Amino acid sequence: MTHVWPLLPSIIGLAASVVLLGFAGTRLAKTADELADRTGLGEAVAGALFLGAVTSLPGILTTITGALGGDAEFALANPIGGVAIQTVWLAIADLVYRRANLEHAAASLDNLLQALILVGLLALPIIAYATPDLAIGWFHPATLAIPLFYAYGLRLLRQMREAPMWSPRMTRDTRTDDGEDHSTTSTRRLWTTLAVLAVIVGVTGWVIGQSGLGLIAATGWPSAVTGFTVTTAISSLPELITLLAAVRLGALTLGVGGIIGGNVFDTLMIAVADAFYLEGTIYANVGPASLVLLGGTILITAVLAAGLVVRDRRGIGFEGIALPSLYLATVGGAIWAG
C-alpha cells in the first residue's frame, strides 16, 4: 500500500491539477494541429496519436497509483470513466460549435472506425470479469489481448486511410483537414513543446491519483464511483480543453479524433491497471459496480458511433442529449450496484 494523503492536501492537489491541466490543454491543441500538418498524418490520426496519448497521461499515472495502492475498483474505474466522461465532452463541444452538429461537421471514417475498435476493446474486460480465475501469474490473459487488439486496430486505421472503401457525404457544413502548414514554428520546437507539455500533464496525473486515494480514505466514498467521476473528470480536463480549443481553431476532425483516439488509447490503461495490481487479477477483485461502468461506457460509445453515422445536420443531435443522460444513468447504476 502507498502512503495515503490526508483530506486537505488531497483537495489542494486536485485543485492545483485543474489549474495545471488548464494551462497545458490550451497549448496542446495548437501544437498538435501544427504537427498534424507538418507530419502529413492528418487531423484524425494526429488527434489520436498526439492529443490522445499526451492527454491520457494523467489517467495512466492515476491508474498506476491506484493499482499500486491496492484499490482494484479505483484503478479499473479510472480508464473506464475516462472513456465515458471524455465522450460526454463532445456533447459540451457541440454546444460551443453553433454552425452545425459537431458529429456532422467532423465527418471522418477514421473517427468512426476508432469508435468501433473502442467498443471491441471495452468488451474484453467484461469477458475477463466473467472468468476471474483464468490467470497467467497475477494477471488475466485479457490483459495481453488488449494491447494486441489495439495494435491491430491501428493497422486497420492505416489500411483504411491508404485505401478507403467508404466516404462521408460532403455538405456545406462538413469541415475537412486542408493539410496546409500555416505555422512558422520549427518542427524541432513543436516536438519540444509537445514533450514539455507531456511532462506537465504526466506529473499532474500522479498528483490526481494520490489525491483521489486520499479522498476515498477520508470520506469513505465508493472507490469505483470516485474513480469513474471525480478523478477522471479532473484527469480528463486536457481532453475537454484541447477539444474546445480545436473547435475554436476550426480543426474539428482533430478535436473529435483526439477524444475518440484518446478513448481507444485509454483502454490500454485497463491492461496497465491489471499489470500493476499485484494482488491477483484485477477483475477478480472488483464488484458488480465495475461491470455496470463497463456496460454503460460501451453503450455511450455505441451512441457516439451512431451519431457519427446518422450525422444530424443541425442542433446538438440525439447523441448530444443521450450521451450525458447515459453517463448519469451509469453513475446511478454503479452506486446502486455497489
pLDDT, residue 1, reads: 46
DSSP 51: I
Write the pLDDT tens digit of every residue in 235-269. 777 778 778 877 777 777 777 777 887 788 889 89
Radius of gyration of the chain (CA): 19
pLDDT, residue 101, reads: 67
Kindly state the percentage of the chain with pLDDT values over 70.
82
Is residue 333 within 8 A of residue 284, CB to CB? The reply is no
The Cα–Cα gap between 142 and 76 comes to: 14
Residue type (1 letter), 233: A
For residue 34, is pLDDT > 70? yes
Kindly state the percentage of the chain with pLDDT values over 90.
22
pLDDT band of residue 50 (cuts 50, 70, 90) is low
202 against 15, higher pLDDT: 15
pLDDT, residue 52, reads: 65
Backbone angles phi, psi at 139, to 5 degrees: -125, 165
pTM of the prediction? Answer: 0.79
pLDDT, residue 222, reads: 81
Q: Which of 52, 22, 50, 13 is nearest to 231 (CA)?
A: 13
Give the SS3 label for residue 136.
Answer: strand
169 lies in some domain: no
pLDDT band of residue 173 (cuts 50, 70, 90) is low
223 lies in some domain: yes
Write the pLDDT tens digit of every residue in 59-76. 788 888 888 888 899 899
Q: Across residues 144-157, what is the average pLDDT?
A: 91
Report the length, in residues, of the chain: 338
Write the pLDDT tens digit of every residue in 85-135. 989 988 888 877 766 667 666 667 888 898 999 999 999 999 999 998 888
For residue 47, is pLDDT > 70? no
Going by C-beta distance under 8 Å and a sequence separation of 6 or more, which residues neighbour residue 259? 47, 86, 87, 89, 90, 239, 243
38 lies in some domain: yes
Alpha-helix residue ranges (DSSP H) falling in the chain: 7-39, 43-46, 52-55, 57-68, 72-96, 102-105, 109-130, 141-162, 187-219, 223-226, 232-235, 237-249, 252-266, 268-276, 288-310, 317-337
Q: Which of 111, 112, 78 is nearest to 236 (CA)?
A: 78
For residue 333, is pLDDT > 60? yes
274 lies in some domain: yes
The Cα–Cα gap between 27 and 31 comes to: 6
For residue 175, is pLDDT > 70? no
pLDDT, residue 62, reads: 81
11 lies in some domain: yes
The Cα–Cα gap between 197 and 192 comes to: 9
The Cα–Cα gap between 62 and 153 comes to: 25
pLDDT band of residue 169 (cuts 50, 70, 90) is low
234 lies in some domain: yes
pLDDT, residue 202, reads: 75
The burial of 128, by beta-carbon neighbours within 10 Å (0-12 exposed, 13-18 middle, 19 or more buried), is given as buried
The Cα–Cα gap between 43 and 30 comes to: 12
Q: Across residues 50-58, what is the average pLDDT?
A: 71
Domain count, the chain: 1
144 lies in some domain: yes
Average pLDDT over the chain, rounded to an integer: 81
For residue 206, is pLDDT > 80? no
Residue 239 is part of which domain span? 7-162+187-337
pLDDT, residue 45, reads: 63
CATH of the domain at 16: 1.20.1420.30
Residue type (1 letter), 143: T
289 lies in some domain: yes
Give the SS3 label for residue 139.
Answer: strand
**Least confident range of 51-60, 207-216, 230-239, 300-309:** 51-60
Q: Across residues 226-238, what is the average pLDDT?
A: 80
